[in-house]
Amino acid sequence: MTNMTLAVPEDLKSIMDKHREVKWSEVARMAMWEHAKKLELMDRLVAKSRLTEKDALEIGRKIKQEVAKRHGLE
């Protein structure tokens, strides 16, 4: 297994220090696995897509505009 060093903010370190019973490396490993699984799923979902990045950005822009309209922010 490969080792990794992480930088954490001081306030997070304070909480971690209060809970030494927690295996923080395991918590980090599980969180990274969950995120990696989501990325793998996303890769599989978009593998067959014919949308270009430009198309996706345009769709996202239109959705944001409609949400802003719906909430009276435009």
Q: Is residue 51 part of a domain?
A: yes
What string of pLDDT tens digits covers the 74 residues of the chain? 899 999 999 999 999 999 999 999 999 999 999 999 999 999 998 888 898 989 999 999 999 999 999 998 87
Position 2 in a domain: no
Domain-located, residue 43 = yes
DSSP 57: H
pLDDT for 49: 87
Domain span at residue 41 reads: 22-70
Rg (CA), the chain: 20
Q: What is the structure's pLDDT at 3?
A: 93
Residue 38 lies in a domain: yes
Q: What's the distance, CA 63 to chain centroid?
A: 20
* Tally of domains in the chain: 1
Within 10 A of 29 (CB to CB), how many other CB atoms are there?
Answer: 13
Q: What is the pTM of this model?
A: 0.65
